[in-house]
Amino acid sequence: MRSIINTRFALPPVAAVFSIACSATAPTTGPAPRAGPIVSSTAIRIVPAPGSMATNAGAPFTLTAGTAIVVDGGNAEVARTGELLAAILRPSTGFPIPVSTGGGLPDTSRIVLRLAPGGGLASLGAEGYELRVTRDSIRLAASQPAGLFRGIQTLRQLLPPAVESHMLVKAVWTVPAVTIIDQPRFAWRGAMLDVARHFFTVREVKQYIDLLALYKLNTLHLHLSDDQGWRIEIKSRPKLVTMGSVTQVGGGPGGYYTQAEYSELVRYAQDRYVTVIPEIDMPGHTNAALVGYPELSCSTRPTALYTGTDVGWSTFCVDNEDTYSLVDDIVRELAAITPGPYFHMGGDEVEALTDSAYAKFVGRVQTIVARHGKQMVGWEEIAKATLSPSTIVQQWRSDSIPAALRHGGRLVLSPSPRTYIDMKYSPSTELGLTWAGLIEVRDAYDWDPNTFVKGMGERAVVGIEAPLWSETLRNITAAQFLAMPRLPTLAEVAWTPQAERSWESFRLRLASQAPRWNYLGVNYYRSPQIPW
Ligand code: TNX
């Protein structure tokens, strides 16, 4: 192996071998190779950029009909990850790609997945991994199964884009001889999907999870309720869905997930090492809940279904004890079907309550959430209440920390002018909103989470999250248009150390992702900032 180099720097010639082998017909042709100090267009292009990468002398690895995935040690969880890799490789290559524990297989042409909890890999954390590619084998090792899954996403991106095809492609399937040692900068690398303003089906949410997985994101925050719709079955409170789920913004039919469907989504995410965080927004944004339970509203406003997009007007009655029994039922049922450690209580944009009534409500909900064994998360407004140190605050509009957090609270950052991927890219973008500004790809890329919030040290930042509010999004194709390419952009902000990031390198690497999206059938915005 040659010395470890930063991914920002040009790579030696082995990369050219990759480009020659990568001759499968992609549906779009890229621009002519560009010379430059960062990476040439024939270079290895991974998003998010790995912490370190070195090219090895020697020929690349070539996938053949004899290639097998070997699960070293036979761990069942790793075997499942091996099967997910095989499921990507089989349709496009046409090779059988067996997944086995290794007995009786030839020594060459192996993709070895190895779990090494005790060794030196532990310093790479739960999601770090080491990938070594030589002519004879691909060796992926990590201290935890999650690290192997992340490493497989890197391996995917080292293969020609046509590997993502669902149909057989004639190509030479090479992987350049590299050594990559990689681990994430932040532990919370999230995306939020608003399934309340417009409902997204289980199949559509799975497609969104697939994108998270490809770019090593690990948290899916589902905004499950809002004024326009209630989207999750609560068995002890049937009217939440029978009355509250039947419409959406603009008046379409809406919808909801049964608990079985929600569990299916959670499992699908879990298999990809993505934690689902359910959000039930309260005390505001609760009109859909109040349609079925109008006695919990203390306003005189008649509770009817709402299909507009105004915010701030609805609220639970916080002085009514019955409100807390409803909250208890909801949190109890959701906690029971959510293996992840968090419950998100929303808490944003409440204009119909005084600060002290609001703070009292947040305090009560925090107690309920803790009683059901979950850690509370809420939008930054919850810092008006007395929070327990384990509660996580999701920043979205302020750029200085609330006084309430100065004593050890932790933050997830979703600064709206950078991470709100429901904003338009430019004035002519047809979808999206504009209240937080226009967000081109570079705006989403060029910022440092550690210095964004004044007075907040790096240790207080748990990570970042990209919210996709769905007022203007009627289906997953529309959602993809706003998410792509800003979701992988924010994935790099969250994964790659600040010192290893550069816009000039990123825009070339991002451009090389588009042929993959074409094979995957993913819609995206052709930003003029990117040399597609
Ligand atoms: C603000 S950000 C909201 C949402 C809207 C979004 C639209 C936040 C916590 N609340 O209710 O959907 O703006 O961009």
Question: DSSP per residue over 365-388, as a string?
Answer: HHHHHHHTT-EEEEEGGGGGS---
The whole-angstrom separation of Cα 202 and Cα 82 is 24
**Pocket residue to mutate for ligand 1, from 348, 377, 433, 435, most atoms within 8 A of Cβ:** 348
Contact 464, 187 (CB under 8 A): no
Residue 238's contacts (CB-CB under 8 Å, 6 or more residues apart) are: none
Q: Residue 144, SS3?
A: coil
Nearest atom within ligand 1 for CA of residue 381:
9
- The C-alpha angle 193, 528, 215, rounded to 5 degrees, equals 40
In tens, the pLDDT along 401-414 reads 776 676 678 999 99
Would you say residue 278 has pLDDT above 80? yes
What residue spans of 420-467 are helical by DSSP H? Answer: 441-445, 449-452
Residue 321's contacts (CB-CB under 8 Å, 6 or more residues apart) are: none
Amino acid identity of residue 216, one-letter, is: K
The whole-angstrom separation of Cα 149 and Cα 146 is 5
In tens, the pLDDT along 7-40 reads 333 333 333 323 323 333 333 333 433 333 333 3
The whole-angstrom separation of Cα 208 and Cα 203 is 9
Taking alpha carbons only, the member of 19, 49, 27 closest to residue 154 is: 49
Is 504 a residue of the active site?
no
How many helices (H) does the chain have, and how many strands (E)? Answer: 16, 19
Percent of the chain with pLDDT over 90: 82
Which residue has a Cα nearest atom 12 of ligand 1? 469
Which residue has a Cα nearest atom 7 of ligand 1? 469
CA of 349 to the centre of ligand 1 (A): 8
Nearest atom within ligand 1 for CA of residue 380:
9
Would you say residue 1 has pLDDT above 90? no
The whole-angstrom separation of Cα 11 and Cα 284 is 53
Element housing 343 (H / E): strand 342-344
Looking at residue 491, what is its pLDDT?
98
Q: What is the mean pLDDT of residues 380-390?
A: 94
User: Which tokens is 519 given?
Assistant: 């094979």
* Pairing mode, strands 99-100 and 61-62: unpaired
CA of 229 to the centre of ligand 1 (A): 15
- The C-alpha angle 373, 374, 377, rounded to 5 degrees, equals 160
Task: Give me the chain's average pLDDT, please.
Answer: 90
Ligand 1 neighbours, Cβ below 6 Å, are 311, 348-349, 379, 396, 420, 422, 433, 469, 471
Would you say residue 312 has pLDDT above 60? yes
Q: How would residue 417 be classed by pLDDT, with cut points 50, 70 and 90?
A: very high
In tens, the pLDDT along 426-477 reads 999 999 999 999 999 999 999 999 988 877 766 789 999 999 999 999 999 9
In tens, the pLDDT along 120-159 reads 899 999 999 999 999 999 999 999 999 999 999 999 999 9
CA of 24 to the centre of ligand 1 (A): 43
Strand arrangement, sheet containing 137-142: 52-55, 178-182, 129-133, 137-142, 110-115, 68-72, 99-100
Contact 129, 151 (CB under 8 A): yes
In tens, the pLDDT along 166-190 reads 999 999 999 999 999 999 999 999 9
| pTM (2 d.p.) | 0.92
Query: DSSP E strands: which ranges in 259-305?
Result: 275-279
**Pocket residue to mutate for ligand 1, from 469, 471, 472, most atoms within 8 A of Cβ:** 469
Taking alpha carbons only, the member of 6, 70, 121, 38 closest to residue 512 is: 38
- What are the angstrom distances between the C-alpha of 269 and each of 129, 339, 419, 487? 20, 11, 22, 17
Contact 510, 528 (CB under 8 A): no
Q: What is the mean pLDDT of residues 323-327?
A: 98
Round the CA-based radius of gyration of the chain to a whole number and report it: 24
3-state secondary structure labels for all residues of 10-52: CCCCHHHHHHHHCCCCCCCCCCCCCCCCCCCCCCCCCCCCCCE
Which residue has a Cα nearest atom 5 of ligand 1? 469
In tens, the pLDDT along 71-114 reads 998 899 999 999 999 999 999 999 999 999 877 666 788 999 99
In tens, the pLDDT along 328-340 reads 999 999 999 999 9
The label of the residue with tokens 């915010």 reads 311
Q: What is the mean pLDDT of residues 217-227?
A: 98
Percent of the chain with pLDDT over 70: 89
**Pocket residue to mutate for ligand 1, from 349, 380, 381, 472, most atoms within 8 A of Cβ:** 349
CA of 84 to the centre of ligand 1 (A): 35
User: Which tokens is 220 given?
Assistant: 């899916």
CA of 471 to the centre of ligand 1 (A): 9
Looking at residue 484, what is its pLDDT?
98
Nearest atom within ligand 1 for CA of residue 467:
2
184: preceding bond cis by omega (within 30 degrees): no
Concatenated DSSP letters for 81-145?
HHHHHHHHHHHHH-----EE--TT--SSSEEEEEE-SSSGGGGGTTT-EEEEE-SSEEEEEESSH
Nearest atom within ligand 1 for CA of residue 470:
12
CA of 469 to the centre of ligand 1 (A): 7
Selecting among 349, 381, 492, 500, the annotated active-site residue is 349
